[in-house]
Amino acid sequence: IFVKPWVFIRGVPNMSVLPPEGPPEIAFAGRSNVGKSSLINALLRQKGLARTSNTPGRTQELNYFVPGGYSGALDDLPPLAIVDMPGYGYAEAPKEKVDAWTRLVFDYLRGRSTLKRVFVLIDARHGIKTNDADVLGLLDKAAVSYQIVLTKLDKIKPTAVPKLLEATAEAIRKRPAAYPQILATSSEKGAGLDELREAILTISQQ
């Protein structure tokens, strides 16, 4: 699935226009600006597929991506959809917007039966913050499988990585829906992308 060109199929501004549940879905969640859209582009090797920006709040809808060439008919569904999510925790945007994104993110994460795993992205420089922990708590409660992906690894010293991995593993150790393996990535330098592709392939084959 990573050799095909992927295509954007739909932007979902609210839960009432979600596509019918079909292919397995994998979602990329995390605070605003953590690097969700950049990671999807790096993973699929398609610059500009998911829109990225220096300014937090770039992604404002649930954006659906699938490998190209599927008609979407019931007997011709793609094997997997990747969902790029709006970020949470961006306080600078107008309150109604922030509230709408947060509601969309939380409602989707709680109530999508075809959602196979959520990659929760955490900035390697900042670690797990309160609003990240809120999202992890929601996923634990809803029993939705999730996996932590550290981002922007190129921004920290390589010597700091083992301790960071250890601390992150410890932070999720008692969380029931957390997948124990922590992935450490850099969209910029390509670190950890093969491991992430491997994880996605495995999930799509389950």
Binding interface with ligand GTP (CB under 6 A):
30, 32-38, 52-54, 56-59, 86-87, 151-152, 154-155, 186-188
Torsion 70-74-79-82 (CA) sign:
positive
Report in angstroms how near the CB of residue 69 gets to ligand GTP at its nearest: 26
Report in angstroms how near the CB of residue 33 gets to ligand GTP at its nearest: 5
Q: Virtual CA dihedral for 112, 116, 122, 127, nearest 10 degrees? A: 100
CB 81 within 8 Å of CB 27: no
Task: Give the C-alpha separation, 118 to 28, whole Å.
Answer: 6
Contacted by 19, from ligand GTP, Mg ion, none: CB < 5 to 8 Å by type: none
Residue 120 is encoded by which pair of tokens?
Answer: 């929760």
Residue 136 is encoded by which pair of tokens?
Answer: 């992890």
| Member of 33, 59, 102, 204 binding Mg ion (CB under 5 A) | 59
Report in angstroms how near the CB of residue 125 gets to ligand GTP at its nearest: 10
| Member of 26, 43, 44, 58 binding Mg ion (CB under 5 A) | 58
142: Cβ contacts below 8 Å, ≥ 6 apart: 109, 110, 111, 177
Contact between 33 and Mg ion by CB under 5 A: the answer reads: no
Contact between 41 and Mg ion by CB under 5 A: the answer reads: no
Report in angstroms how near the CB of residue 14 gets to Mg ion at its nearest: 18
